[in-house]
Amino acid sequence: MKKEAVSSQEATEYVIRRMSLTDLPQVIEIERASFPSSWSFTFFEQELRYNQLAHYFVACRREEGKANDEILGYLGLRILAGEAHLTTIAVKESERQRGVGESLLIWAIEFAQQMGASLLTLEVRASNLPAQSLYRKYGFVEVGIRRRYYIETGEDALLMSLEDLTSPSFQAHLKQLKQNLTDKVAQRAKA
């Protein structure tokens, strides 16, 4: 994927790019603040170095049209045999509710499409209602429950799926949601 930012982000304060090893200290900081049982530095390092099915991206603050080194959020995907799985997504606490997570989700959907996936799945904590709401907004539906999926708390995970990523109706829906996000971010910038 050659482009640095999703088209809906041209007016935003951040850029999405591939995660690098030098990003890991900030990624781990966000990871630990976001999840009770966080992935380790070594896990991310192994994923970046050796897992050819894994794709990780970071959202960085934009300055003078370019990304700087401050990481606002990140995501991870695995893609295999026409299916994509969103393995992780997190946003720095001070940057939540500002469109960063939604932009990362758009990026994941578009990247999955470009990699030939027609299906995108994810797990989300049963208690994480804001994330579930965002996923439903983009067309994800609950397709199952993974009982006691989160070992540290015993909490269930909802398995959610977004099918037909390339259908004309989904593409029109995605285009409208991207425009809505761009408008919302622009309005906030004017305020």
* CA separation, residue 175 to residues 8, 43, 64, 99 (Å): 9, 35, 26, 16
Give strand pairing partners of 14.
61
Determine the 3-state secondary structure of 8 from DSSP.
helix
Give φ, ψ of 183 to 5 degrees.
-65, -40
From 135, 142, 149, 155, the catalytic residue: 135
Q: Is 14 a catalytic residue?
A: no
What amino acid is encoded at 105 in this protein? L
- Candidates 123, 150, 152, 155; catalytic one: 123
* CA–CA distance, 45 with 48 (Å, rounded to integer): 5
Catalytic residue status for 123: yes
Catalytic residues: 123, 135
